[in-house]
Amino acid sequence: MQLAPIRQSGTLIKRYKRFLADILLKNGETLTVHCPNSGSMRGCSDPGSPVILSKSDNPKRKYAWTLEMVQKEGIWIGVNTGMTNKLVHEALEHGVITDFGKILTIRPEIKVSAGSRLDFLLETEQGRTYLEVKNCSMAQNNIALFPDAVTARGTKHLHELDRLRGEGFNTAVLFCVQRADADSFSPAEAIDPVYADTLREVHARGVGALAYQADVRPDEIRITTRLPVFTGE
């Protein structure tokens, strides 16, 4: 997936109020940008890090520029969680993600209960598959980790997938790893043990757990590689 055509680089001064970041541009100007990431961005929000910004063509936006990626130790990390579902949708359409067999239709944002939605409903030759997608921007010792902050909402999604599995549907959670320095995935038990335990439990009962790595470049991000998942059962 190509990023917006109008882009520029800069240096992260600080990220604050969850959805804002101050960026030092090459001309010395300081620019406040939208940071579309509700997590802690642990390990990829250090002041002084190189960043890539994109500019929206929506004139109504208060902050025209968006933080797309942060560089750490030479590795670009995608931090715009608004891109995650688009990346997965593209990879499903182009046959990069093949775990679900032949896909007939892809329906986004499916309501599955009062106040709860899952990211995709896939109509396949094997039947329906409900798929939840999570963005993974954290890694330690070459292991991609999710979540980077406690996520009650993420745990709720796992229970929804497990409920639908019990009703006879195929279900899975897919972790989109937007960095190149990981060769496997595990839940971040030290950060959210409840989420890690829940993932282990529902996976043991048949909810799929997948991880796919994206190639993150300043002008493009695309999913390329499946990573092994170790949930610790």
Would you state the pLDDT for residue 233? 64
- Residue 209, SS3? strand
The three-state secondary structure class of 22 is strand
As a whole number, mean pLDDT of residues 196-219 equals 97
Alpha helices in 124-172 (DSSP H): 152-166
pLDDT digits (tens, 9 = 90+) for 185-195: 999 999 999 99
Tens of pLDDT, residue by residue over 41-89, are: 999 999 999 999 999 988 889 999 999 999 999 999 999 999 999 999 9
CATH 2.40.50.580 applies to domain 7-78 = yes
Given pLDDT bands bounded at 50, 70 and 90, which one contains residue 205? very high
CATH of 81-227, one of 3.40.1350.60, 3.10.129.10, 2.60.200.20, 3.40.50.1860: 3.40.1350.60
Higher pLDDT, 5 or 173: 173
Strand partners, 14: 22
- Coil vs helix vs strand at 202: helix
Q: How is the chain split into domains, by residue range?
A: 7-78, 81-227
